[in-house]
Structure 1
Amino acid sequence: MFITDAYAQGAPAADPTGGLMQLLPIILMFVVLWFLMVRPQMKRAKEHKAMIQALAKGDEVITQGGIAGRVTSVDEDFVRVEIAKGVEVTVQKPTIAAVLPKGTLKNL
């Protein structure tokens, strides 16, 4: 008498996709980021590593600091670069930004 009758509400309709449609935009965003940002960066890093491993005496290079010179010796972690006649600097291998075509330094 003191308690009123409680009636159950209708159960919500079940999602036929199992909630996948709610996660689809997030999954799509990660896929786009992978193909536009992560994958190209990994490709550039792989190419740079191959270029560094292929360094040899006599290659004309440019460092990330903008110094151009000719490789005089290659060690495991360092490279000696001749930047002027009789002037050599020692740089770490990862600081080599590019290997220039032969004869480029003569034109500078």
Structure 2
Amino acid sequence: MEQLLLPVLLMLVVAVPLVMGTRKQKRAAAQQQELQNSLSEGDRVMTTSGLYGTVANTDDDTTIDIEVAPGVVTTWLRQAVRERVEPVVEDDSADEDAPGSHEAIPAEEASASSVTTTSASSASSASSATEDKKTEESGAQIAPPLEHGKK
């Protein structure tokens, strides 16, 4: 009897995680099937490829129409729907109060960063001075150059 104890314990150690993993996988598949069957028009969804859209038509059993932009409706397999997402709520007052939400960088900050970039570079030339002036005028920032291979 003692000779059988070790092999039985080894089989249990291997079998229990396999059974538990299979149960978890079956449960996830059932939830996904339930989601795909419960979709209705107007639901906001994300596909397996990461595309967000609104369900436009659910008449077919195997396909679903998703509106990805106003007036643009595409047909997808139901299995391509990964999850239902909450609709985006746009708050106009939050957009106006958020600093730098869609605004250009002020000229003072752009010139300060271009001066820092220029002083950090080892070789400054007349062409970089003209580029800094263009940067200050446009309000754009230029990232410092990457230094590969230096240790």
Which TM-score tier does this pair reach, normalised by the shorter chain?
Answer: 0.7 to 0.9
Give % identity: 23
Compare the two structures and name the one with the higher strand fraction.
1
Mark the runs of 5 or more structure 2 residues left unpaired by the alignment. 92-151
Compare the two structures and name the one with the higher helix fraction.
2
Q: Deviations over 1:47-84 (max 9, x none)?
A: 10100010001111010011110001011000000000
Shift of 1:38: 1.8
Greater Rg by CA: 1
Aligned-pair Cα RMSD in Å: 2.0
Q: TM-score, normalised by structure 1?
A: 0.73
Equivalent residues in 2 for 1:11-90 (5 A)?
Answer: 16-17=1-2, 19-35=4-20, 37-74=21-58, 75-90=60-75
Q: Which of 64, 68, 82 is the aligned partner of 1:97?
A: 82
CA 1:71 to 1:105, structure 2 compared with 1: closer, same or farther past 3 Å? farther
Q: TM-score, normalised by structure 2?
A: 0.54
Which stretches of structure 1, 4 residues or more, deviate above 6 A after TM superposition? Answer: none
Q: Is the 8 A contact 1:69 1:105 kept in 2?
A: no
**Matches of 1:92 and 1:46 in 2, distance apart?**
17
Aligned residue pairs, count:
90
